Amino acid sequence: MTALHPQLAAHQSYRIAGTEYRMVVASPASDPELWEQYLQSAYEGYRKHGVEGAFELDLIRDGRSTTLFAVAIDERSELVAGIRMQAHESADDAPAVHMWDGQPGRAELHRLVADRIPAGVVELKGAFVSDDARDRAALSEALLRVAVVAPMGMLPAQYIVAIVGVESQRQQWKSVGAVKEPADLPTSPYPSDRYTATPLWWDRNTFVDHVAPERLPGLLREIVQLRPSKASEQ
């Protein structure tokens, strides 16, 4: 598992600009109660869309496979959105690769992940926004940002990967610097035939070149908030 930068605490937070919400970034070990709340809320979100099996609750509940998770909480401390981040030590353990089991392109994707493991690969998983949350658009945008700034700001990994199954979501991730790689990889029908799973990547050294101009100020503001000198609550 990829460790935190040594200067950083495993529990940080910042105000999501222009909203009533606060983003908390933690590890399952640093805040087990919040981790359990995230699991319950995210699982319910997946269940409402009929894809709860893809969340793999029993497999991830102990927290050992999750390096960091990020959740948005409202002024009543209720959890309204979240995402988790899983650092990989082997391509064989990467859920992204197993989504192509039995599908064309699996060997190519496995090779790409394996080649990048030595530089550090963090996979994004379990994103959700509560259906009844206020200002869902702002929460969705905040999740896009934290999915990039938390790994880039808190983990010594060069790469982030996310598997996205819906075109509208692909465009959102691309707006914060994601690029499809391998570019010609066939999509996979995961978690069901309703979806066309696609691997999207961020490279620490180049992702800023692909960020939509309107997204860049928010990304830069929040990555500064997660630097070692900003470890205390803003």
Confidence of residue 162 (pLDDT cuts 50, 70, 90): very high
Mean pLDDT of 178-189: 96
Q: Are 44 and 90 in contact (CB under 8 A)?
A: no
Confidence of residue 234 (pLDDT cuts 50, 70, 90): very low
CA neighbor of 109 nearest in space, from 33, 51, 7, 188: 188
Domain ranges of the chain: 11-226
Phi, psi of 7 (to 5 degrees): -80, -10
Tokens of 1: 């598992």
Q: How far apart are the C-alpha atoms of 4 and 67, rounded to whole Å?
A: 8
Tokens of 180: 């499809």
**Can you give the pLDDT at residue 1?**
53
- Which helix (H) or strand (E) segment is 159 a member of? strand 159-164
List, in order, residues 6 or more apart from 118 with CB less than 8 Å away: none
pLDDT digit string (tens) for 1-21? 566 655 456 788 999 988 999
Q: CATH fold of 11-226, please?
A: Aminopeptidase (3.40.630)
Q: How far apart are the C-alpha atoms of 162 and 147, rounded to whole Å?
A: 10
